[in-house]
Amino acid sequence: MDWKNSDLISMRGVGRDAIEKVLRGAARYDAAAREKKFLKELDGRLLATLFFEPSTRTQFSFRTAMLRMGGNVIGFSDAQVTSVSKGETVHDTMKFIEGCADIVAIRHPNDGAAQVAADSCGVPVINAGDGANEHPTQALVDLFTMQKEKKAIDGLAILMLGDLKYGRTVHSLLHALCNFNDVTVLLQSPPALKMPSELVHEARGHLKVREVEKLDFSDADVVYATRIQRERFADPDEYKKYSYRIDAEKLRELKSDAVLLHPLPRVGEIDPEIDSDARAAYFRQENNGIPVRMAVLKEILG
C-alpha cells in the first residue's frame, strides 16, 4: 500500500511496510514533541473532522496533530448543528466538504459509512471509527504503543478481552497484527460478544488465534481490555450483564514485564486504583495518538 493520497478505511490490506513507515514517523514526532519542537510540515493544509458520534481522544488528537504540523482544522462534533439533522446524506455532505478540505477524518455510527464517504469525495478520507466495524488509526496507535513498551511486536502474546463483537478497535488491531511474525492472539469475551467468526478465520491464516473461556492474564505480554459498547445494543440495558473489572487482585496474574492497554474511555473495566502500576500503560497509549496521527497525515498528504 502506498500512503500518498490514499484513504484509510480499514487495516485489512495495510501491509507491514506501510505500518512501519507510520511507526517510524510517529517515533520521530514523539521525540520532537518531547523537545517541544513542532515540525510545520503540513503548513497551509486543511483537515476536516466530521464526527457524527461522540469522541474525545480521537478527535482531539487528529486536531492537535494537524495544528502541530502547521495545518488548519475545520469540522463539527455534533451532527445536530449540520444539515445532516435536516436529513442530508453522507454522500451529499462529502460533496461539499471535498471543496473545503485537503483531507477528512470521519466518525459515524454506521458500519461502512467511512467507505461511503470515501467513495463520495475526491480527497483522502480517514476512518476515525465507523459503527462496530473498524478504527484503523487506533490500531496504529496500539501497535506504536506495543512497540514502545515491549520493544517489538513480533513474538508477542496479546490477550483481547471485553466486547470483541462491537468493539471496532479490536477488529482493526486483529487485521494489523496479521502482518507480524509469531504473534499469538488470545480472545476472551462473553459468548454473546465474541470476535466475529469471519475475522477469526481470516486472522488464522496469519497468526495463532485462540478463543479462551477463562480470563487468565498469566500467558499474556499485552492485555488489551475494551469497553462493553452500550450504544450498539438494541436493548440499552443489556450491556450491564457483561460488565467486568480488572483490579489489583487480578493484576497479580500479569507478568512483571507485561502491559495493560485500553483504547479508552473506560467505564468501570479498570479499577483506577491500578493506574499507578507501571504495567498500566493506557494513559501512555492515549498520548501516542498525537504522534501517530501526525505520521498518518504526513504520509497521506506529504
Instruction: Give me the residues that bind ligand NCD (CB under 6 A), please.
Output: 57-58, 129, 135, 138, 168-169, 227, 263-264
Residue closest to ligand NCD, measured at CB:
227
* Beta-sheet strand order (sheet of 184-188): 208-211, 184-188, 157-161, 222-225, 259-261
Helix (H) or strand (E) holding 296: helix 289-301
CA atoms of 243 and 228, how far apart (whole Å): 7
User: 114 is written with which cell numbers?
Assistant: 467511512
What distance in Å separates the CA atoms of residue 151 and residue 157, rounded to the nearest whole number?
14
Q: How far is the CB of 56 from ligand NCD (least distance, A)?
A: 8
Residue among 115, 142, 140 at smallest CA distance from 127: 115
Which of residues 124 and 129 has its CB atom nearest to ligand NCD in the complex?
129
Rank residues 138 and 189 by Cβ distance to ligand NCD and give the closer one. 138
State the minimum distance, in angstroms, from the CB of residue 57 to ligand NCD.
5
* 291 cis-preceded (ω within 30 degrees of 0): no
Task: State the minimum distance, in angstroms, from the CB of residue 6 to ligand NCD.
Answer: 21
Least Å distance between CB 220 and ligand NCD? 20
Residue 218 Cβ vs ligand NCD, minimum distance, rounded to whole Å: 25
Nearer to ligand NCD, 210 or 266 (CB): 266
Q: Which is nearer to ligand NCD, 47 or 264 (CB)?
A: 264
Give Cα 122 to chain centroid, integer Å: 24
Nearer of residues 21 and 227 to ligand NCD, judged by Cβ: 227
Q: Which is nearer to ligand NCD, 56 or 89 (CB)?
A: 56
In the three-class reduction of DSSP (H, G, I as helix; E, B as strand; rest coil), residue 246 is classed as strand
How far is the CA of 106 from the CAs of 183, 185, 255, in angstroms? 31, 29, 38
Tell me the closest approach of the beta carbon of residue 136 to ligand NCD, in angstroms: 11
Residues contacting 43, CB < 8 A, separation 6+: 69, 70, 71
